[in-house]
């Protein structure tokens, strides 16, 4: 899941601000999206992610700053001449046209002959798995089919950038997961820059080369999925992406790139400052964060390769393939979440069981 | 037990309660619409002798109508006037409906619609007199202004007692009837469709032509029918604005029914008019049927 950064810039945001009256919707967005990248804008509703996407499409003007597409400023460039196409959240399929007419809508000015255009429409439909659907009435399609038509209609114009505004949110879970994989394959096949807006962190992690996490009109972190998951830039980002446990921490000393840290439950340990300490100093003081899967319950006879701490199980949630435990470490009142894969022969423990958990300082992140 | 259970079943059945619910309206419709219509239809095949209906089934009335040049002339005039009124009304109503739907903030739309319906607060007769007396008449605004600034020396004849004045008055009267259905059709259009049109490379104008207009056609079609059908049978306007000099088909029916006391001939003209309205409407609907296909 790495993406080479030597590709040329496709989209550049330079200190983009957007006001709606008094409301400051975009607060100084500066970011670069590379050519051929699958990029996601992730955040809760109202964070400005859709507004930012619409500034690329040209549906939304900006109050100050600049948006560049392929090196060209988009100031005063209307939506219909921008080298972008969009898959709308509602799919915006024209109800008075057939599937084929929808897909061919943007080809009116195309100099090719009628037969060549018809072949292009058929090819685009085949690409999204709707071969032979051209003659159907658009209003009779299912949600998943509408989305495919919207994709074909945009991709047939070979845009430099494809914009996707929460394209999967209207689909059921199975269909959504299926379409995630299809979209990734499609993006690799056509090689076009895809920019996806989503509020679903899992979707963003699965699909993207890089993700910009947005809160309140600002980009809180821009990174690849792995970095985002392993080393979130703030507690807020950590909370938004997956589950993270937090323990209050004290930094005892900092020298030579190492920091001596103490938390209730874990005791004293050493962290790498460069790699493991992140964020600006916060009001609540430093906090150590770690993911549920970085803790492991030790069964009789097992020993931790690194550190271990005694704990009590306070809650058990059984998921079939996984079991989630809430535990309390001795010496700490913070409930911590721990996940264990239910491999063959491993028992599911009961509430109240005394146990030992293995942990490794390398899996921790400290938010200043 | 037997009887009680039957009554119980009837009372519980959905069909029975449905019928009970619609029956007041149904009775009203049958007594005041269907029955008079059937009477007119039957009269049209009878004969009138000194004001009395004589039951002598024949097509004589229809033959008389279809061969009389003055009936043809008046029918043609009625069609021309009502088609012109329809055209003028719908062409003028569309921009108003478009403006209210697309450029008036959502919170102000109802006040705009309210203002549009204000002409309905006064009776049509009074509005016709306003046009006749105040605007178009001999001492009306137009003539006063024209004479006041010295363009004409005497009142213009051209703006009164003719078909043009009738079209103007009717178009004004029916404007809200045309604006409302077009407005509703425009309101129903998903705004993202218009963005999609532009996103796919079309200008605003071409997006209007390829997306907005076809999607609003059901409203336009409704507006056309709502204006066309009543105006062809309009009877007050030709009398007042036209000054009786340009009678339309309804005036002719009135003359036969009430003045000549020839109910049979009057009925035949009425049935003929209905038939023509039906045919024109059906042809119009067929021509536009692709816009009326299920759109969800």
Write A97-101 long-range contacts (CB < 8 A, 24+): A97/A138, A98/A134, A98/A135, A98/A136, A98/A137, A98/A138, A99/A125, A99/A130, A99/A133, A99/A134, A99/A135, A99/A136, A99/A137, A99/A138, A99/A141, A99/A149, A100/A125, A100/A133, A100/A134, A100/A135, A101/A138
pLDDT for the residue A5? 61
Q: Which of B189, B193, B198, B199 to mutate to test the interface with A (most CBs of A within 10 A)?
A: B199
Q: In what order do the strands lie in the sheet with A161-165?
A: A84-87, A161-165, A193-198, A38-42, A210-215, A218-223
Question: Does the beta-carbon distance from B192 to A88 stay under 8 Å?
Answer: yes
Tokens of A218: 């600002």
Alpha-carbon gap, residue A232 to A285, rounded angstroms:
17
- At residue B296, the 3 state secondary structure works out as coil
What are residue A267's DSSP bridge partners? Answer: A263
Burial A201-224 (b: 16+ CB within 10 A, else e): bebbbbbbbbbbbbbebebbbbbe
* Contacting A residues, span 96-125, partner chain B, CB-CB under 8 Å: 96, 105-106, 108-109
* Backbone torsions φ then ψ of A213, nearest 5 degrees: -90, 125
- Non-local (6+) Cβ contacts of B236 within 8 A are B124, B125, B128
Give the other-Cβ count within 10 Å of A22's Cβ. 5
Q: How far is it, in rounded angstroms, from Cα B160 to Cα A354? A: 102
d(CA B165, CA B158): 8
Question: In what side-by-side order are the strands of the sheet with A287-290?
Answer: A245-248, A287-290, A365-367, A277-278
Per-position pLDDT tens, chain A of length 368? 455 567 889 999 999 999 999 999 999 999 999 999 999 999 999 899 999 999 999 999 999 999 999 999 999 999 999 999 999 999 999 999 999 999 999 999 889 999 999 999 999 999 999 999 999 998 889 888 999 999 999 999 999 999 999 988 888 888 888 889 989 999 999 999 999 999 999 999 999 999 999 999 999 999 999 999 988 988 889 989 988 998 888 888 888 888 888 888 888 888 888 788 887 777 778 889 899 999 988 888 788 788 888 899 999 999 989 999 999 988 888 889 999 998 888 888 888 888 989 888 888 888 88
CA-based nearest residue to A103, from B195, B138, B200: B200
Q: Tell me the chain A residues in contact with residue B193 when contact means C-beta distances shorter than 8 Å.
A: 92, 94-95
Q: What sign does the dihedral B277-B282-B285-B287 (CA atoms) show?
A: negative
Gap between the terminal Cα atoms of chain A: 28
The residue ranges of every structural domain in chain B are: 68-292
Residues of B in contact with A61 (CB under 8 A): none
The secondary structure of residue A363, as a DSSP letter, is: G
B201: nearest CA partner in chain A: A80
Of A90, A96, A106, which is closest to B201 when you measure between CB atoms? A106
Residues of A in contact with B210 (CB under 8 A): 105
Give me the interface pTM, i.e. the ipTM: 0.83
pLDDT digits (tens, 9 = 90+) for B179-235: 999 999 999 999 999 999 999 999 999 999 999 999 999 999 999 999 999 998 888
CA angle B259, B265, B268 (to 5 degrees): 130
Q: Is the pLDDT of residue B3 over 70?
A: no
Tell me the C-alpha distance between B92 and B272, whole Å.
30
Looking at residue B296, its pLDDT comes to 44
The whole-angstrom separation of Cα B203 and Cα B208 is: 8
Q: Which residues of A touch B190 (CB under 8 A)?
A: 90, 92
Residues B131-167: tens digit of each pLDDT? 777 777 667 777 788 888 877 777 666 566 678 888 8
Q: Enumerate the CATH 2.40.50.140 domain ranges in chain A, comma separated.
A: 243-368
In angstroms, rounded to a whole number, what is the distance separating the alpha carbons of residues B123 and B175?
15
Evaluate the CA torsion angle A21, A22, A23, A27 in order and state its sign.
positive
pLDDT per residue over A55-90, tens digit each?
A: 999 999 999 999 999 999 999 999 999 999 999 999
Minimal CA separation from B85 to chain A, in Å? 29
Euclidean distance between CA atoms B23 and B13, whole angstroms: 16
CATH architecture designation of domain B68-292:
Orthogonal Bundle (1.10)
Q: In what order do the strands lie in the sheet with A258-263?
A: A250-255, A258-263, A267-272
| Whole-number CA gyration radius for chain B | 25
Q: What CATH class is the domain A243-368?
A: mainly beta
- Name the residue with higher pLDDT: B4 or A192: A192
Q: Provide the strand spans (E) within A169-304.
A: 193-198, 210-215, 218-223, 245-248, 250-255, 258-263, 267-272, 277-278, 287-290, 296-298
> What predicted TM-score, i.e. pTM, was given to this entire model?
0.81
Q: Report the side by side order of strands in the sheet with A9-20.
A: A23-34, A9-20, A64-69, A72-73
Contacts of A302 (CB under 8 A, 6+ apart): A358
Record: fold of A9-235? Rossmann fold (3.40.50)
* Mean pLDDT (whole number) for B248-258: 88
Q: A287 Cβ partners below 8 Å, 6+ apart?
A: A235, A246, A247, A248, A249, A366, A367
Residue by residue, DSSP assigns A101-152 as: HHHTGGGTT--S-HHHHHHHHHHHHHHTT-TT-TTSBGGG--HHHHHHHHHH
Please report the pLDDT score of residue B284 as a whole number.
Answer: 92
- Distance between A310 CA and the closest CA of chain B, angstroms: 57
pLDDT at B107: 93
Residue-wise pLDDT for B96-127, tens only, equals 999 999 999 999 999 999 998 887 788 888 88
Contact A48, A232 (CB under 8 A): no
Chain A hits for B192, Cβ within 8 Å: 88-90, 92
């Amino acid at each position: 899941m790495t993406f080479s950064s030597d590709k040329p810039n496709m989209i550049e945001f330079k200190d983009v601000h957007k006001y709606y009256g008094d409301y400051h919707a975009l607060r100084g967005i500066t970011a670069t999206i590379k050519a051929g990248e699958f990029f996601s804008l992730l955040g809760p509703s109202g964070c400005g992610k859709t507004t930012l996407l619409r500034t690329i499409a040209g549906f939304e003007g900006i109050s100050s700053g600049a948006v560049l597409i392929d090196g060209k400023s988009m100031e005063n460039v209307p939506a219909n001449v921008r080298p972008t196409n969009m898959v709308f959240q509602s799919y915006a399929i024209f109800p008075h046209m057939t599937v084929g007419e929808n897909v061919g809508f943007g080809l009116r000015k195309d100099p090719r002959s009628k037969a060549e255009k018809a072949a292009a429409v058929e090819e685009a439909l085949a690409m999204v798995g709707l071969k032979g659907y051209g003659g159907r009435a658009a209003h009779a399609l299912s949600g998943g089919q509408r989305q495919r038509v919207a994709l074909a209609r945009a991709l047939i114009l070979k845009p430099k950038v494809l914009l996707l505004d929460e394209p999967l949110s209207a689909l059921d879970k199975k269909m959504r997961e299926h379409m995630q994989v299809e979209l990734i394959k499609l993006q690799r096949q056509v090689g076009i820059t895809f920019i996806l807006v989503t509020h679903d962190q899992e979707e963003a992690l699965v699909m993207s080369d890089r993700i910009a996490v947005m809160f309140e009109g600002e980009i809180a972190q821009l990174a690849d999925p792995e970095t985002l998951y392993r080393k979130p830039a703030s507690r807020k980002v950590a909370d938004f992406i997956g589950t993270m446990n937090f323990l209050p921490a004290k930094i005892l000393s900092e020298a030579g790139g190492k920091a001596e840290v103490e938390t209730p439950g874990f005791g004293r340990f050493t962290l790498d400052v460069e790699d493991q300490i992140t964020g600006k100093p916060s009001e609540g003081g430093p906090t150590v964060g770690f993911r549920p899967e970085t803790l492991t319950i030790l069964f009789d006879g097992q020993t931790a390769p690194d550190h271990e701490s005694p704990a009590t199980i306070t809650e058990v949630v059984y998921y079939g393939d996984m079991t989630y435990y809430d535990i309390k470490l001795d010496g700490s009142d913070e409930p911590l979440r721990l996940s264990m894969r239910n491999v063959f022969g491993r028992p599911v423990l009961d509430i109240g069981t005394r146990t030992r958990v293995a942990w490794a300082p390398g899996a921790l992140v400290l938010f200043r | 037990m037997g009887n009680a259970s039957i009554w119980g079943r009837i009372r519980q059945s959905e069909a029975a309660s449905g019928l009970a619910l619609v029956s007041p309206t149904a009775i009203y419709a049958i007594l005041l619409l269907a029955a008079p219509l059937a009477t007119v239809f039957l009269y049209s095949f009878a004969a009138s002798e000194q004001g009395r209906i004589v039951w002598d089934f024949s097509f004589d009335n229809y033959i008389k109508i279809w061969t009389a040049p003055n009936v043809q002339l008046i029918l043609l005039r009625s069609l021309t006037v009502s088609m012109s009124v329809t055209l003028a009304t719908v062409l003028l109503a569309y921009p108003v409906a478009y403006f209210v739907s697309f450029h008036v903030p959502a919170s102000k739309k109802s006040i705009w619609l309210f203002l549009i319906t204000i002409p309905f607060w006064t009776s049509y007769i009074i509005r016709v007199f306003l046009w006749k007396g105040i605007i178009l008449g001999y001492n009306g605004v137009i003539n006063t202004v024209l004479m006041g600034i010295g363009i004409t020396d005497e009142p213009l004849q051209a703006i009164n007692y003719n078909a043009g004045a009738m079209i103007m008055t009717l178009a004004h009267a029916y404007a809200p009837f045309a604006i409302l259905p077009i407005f509703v059709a425009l309101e129903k259009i998903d705004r993202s469709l218009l963005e999609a049109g532009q996103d796919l490379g079309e200008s605003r104008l071409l997006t209007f032509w390829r997306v907005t207009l076809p999607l609003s056609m059901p409203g336009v079609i409704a507006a056309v029918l709502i204006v066309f059908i009543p105006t062809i049978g309009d009877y007050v306007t030709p009398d007042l604005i036209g000054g009786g000099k340009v009678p339309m088909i309804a005036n002719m029916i009135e003359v036969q029914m009430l003045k000549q006391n020839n109910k049979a001939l009057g009925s035949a003209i009425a049935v003929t008019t209905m038939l023509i309205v039906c045919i024109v409407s059906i042809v119009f609907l067929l021509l536009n049927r692709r816009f009326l296909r299920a759109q969800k």
